[in-house]
Structure 1
Amino acid sequence: MSDPIRTLIADDEWMVRSMLRTILEAAPGIAVVGEAADGAEAVDLARKLGPDVVLLDIRMPRADGLTAAARMADLADAPRVVVLTTFDLDEYVHEALSNGAVGFLLKDASAQDMVAAVRSAAEGDAMLSPRVTRRLLERFAQPRRDGRDRARARISELTEKEREVLTAVGRGLSNADIASTLYMSEATAKTHVSRILTKLGLTNRVEAAILAYRAGLLD
């Protein structure tokens, strides 16, 4: 049996922390190792506890989530950061990703999506909620004609099934959702995503989503 995903929760509202702990501890393979009430405490606990994943609120006292994410990225054993917020504002998404976050979820996300975000982060994948994904792509990946031609040329080497999976990634679907939508196992969906990233020379799902958008797969 593999070790559980060690997770740190950082939010200035104790009720939110309690809710997140309840959701995550009910999921197999995830262990909550600590809670922080502000950004400075989150960085301190990340340094002391060495979590695999940190669920990090954006608006907190002493140091906000964006600052904390940047500081965590500089740690020797940097955790994967999933930013959690009630604000789906584009500048937060962009800055969070620039500061090293690998996921971005709104606090009204389902329990299933929160668990999926922690697991995806632990595996090194970026995950955005579908609503945030669409807004991010519209803001930062506006497809121009020449850009669309280049994007289509890049994805031309993909199989038909891989194009379907790439489209699903572009819509913000998790591996579990891709599996359900395309009638395959979650393991197969994960394999497809990994193969797509390798074929296209991409680092994570966010880059894949942007390419899918530029290629017109989400039209």
Structure 2
Amino acid sequence: MTIRVLICDELPVIGDGLRTLLDAVPDIDVIGTTDNGMEAIVLVRTARPDVVVTDLNLRTISGLEMIRRLGKEDAPPKIVVFTRSDADKTVSDVLHAGASCLLGKDASPQQLITAIQAAAAGQTMLAPDVAQRLVTWFREQPERPEPAPWPELTELTPRERVVTQMVARGMSTEEVARELIIGEATVRTHLYRVRTKLGVRDRAELVSLAYRSGLIDLAGHSLGGERSGSRVDLRVN
């Protein structure tokens, strides 16, 4: 399957360089480049890229704001952030906004290609130093408290709970549909109803709630004792 990619960078020389690099990859098709955050949103709506590769510095609106707005689209693309900054605040903002992958501008061409392919497959990839910091932070945290009560969870149907658990484990809409043998539109409908019932705005908040409420725990267990593999890849090959 060919991965359709939109490139966003405030410096045309970088955008053009990335386009030249990615155009040489057989399974990647660059559908456009832009240095303008608002124009990027328009291009996403009209050209429907699978993955957006973006810096955080763009014209009109920032890359971070663009990511947040794209997350509210009906079928948002996967986001690979390609930025100079790897400060903790940047990492937190980018991940909360809904980005799938985060790389520094010092990443190798192969790392960028791998990140795009991982994002298109519904996986997460972080720069090695960022991944190490997150692991260190996690290990320093106190033991996880008892799940917070969340009465709204009782309003979910069995199918909605299953879809929520699968999404919380990192599965894409396409993967959930294939696993449950239902249409992608049906998965999106389930997710819309779940977000409405639970009062969350986007997929990132839904995943956070699933862990905080105990619907799925950090070890990958869903309620009921099922064990599931994690889809999150913290490595950059």
Report Cα offsets for 1:22-50 as digits up to 9, x if no partner: 11111120000011112111111111110
| Aligned partner of residue 35 in structure 1, secondary structure | strand
How much has 1:134 moved relative to structure 2? Answer: 1.6
How much has 1:9 moved relative to structure 2? Answer: 0.2
Does residue 23 in structure 1 map to residue 21 in structure 2? Answer: yes
Map of 1:148-159 to 2, 5 A cutoff?
none
How much has 1:61 moved relative to structure 2? Answer: 2.3
How much has 1:142 moved relative to structure 2? Answer: 3.9
Preserved contact between residue 197 and residue 204 of structure 1 (Cα < 8 Å) = no
Does residue 137 in structure 1 map to residue 135 in structure 2? Answer: yes
Q: Which amino acid aligns with 1:72?
A: L
Preserved contact between residue 90 and residue 136 of structure 1 (Cα < 8 Å) = no
Q: Which amino acid aligns with 2:70?
A: M
How much has 1:145 moved relative to structure 2? Answer: 6.2
1:43 corresponding residue in structure 2: 41
**What is the aligned counterpart of 1:32 among 22, 30, 43?**
30
Preserved contact between residue 88 and residue 132 of structure 1 (Cα < 8 Å) = yes
Preserved contact between residue 10 and residue 58 of structure 2 (Cα < 8 Å) = yes
**What is the aligned counterpart of 1:55 among 39, 49, 53?**
53
Distance 1:37 1:126, change over 3 A: same
2:12 corresponding residue in structure 1: 14
Distance 1:12 1:144, change over 3 A: closer
Once residues 96 and 122 of structure 1 are traced to their aligned partners in structure 2, the CA distance between those partners, rounded to angstroms, is 17
Q: Which amino acid aligns with 1:60?
A: L
Corresponding pairs, count = 156
Distance 1:197 1:41, change over 3 A: farther
How much has 1:203 moved relative to structure 2? Answer: 5.4
Q: Kindly report the root-mean-square deviation, in angstroms, between the aligned alpha carbons of the 2 structures.
A: 2.1
The percent identity for this pair of structures is: 35
Structure 2: gaps (5+ residues):
145-218, 222-226
**What is the aligned counterpart of 2:69 among 68, 71, 91?**
71
Report Cα offsets for 1:79-99 as digits up to 9, x if no partner: 000111011111111111111
Preserved contact between residue 124 and residue 231 of structure 2 (Cα < 8 Å) = no
How much has 1:202 moved relative to structure 2? Answer: 4.1
Once residues 73 and 103 of structure 1 are traced to their aligned partners in structure 2, the CA distance between those partners, rounded to angstroms, is 14
Distance 1:145 1:68, change over 3 A: closer
| Aligned partner of residue 7 in structure 1, secondary structure | strand
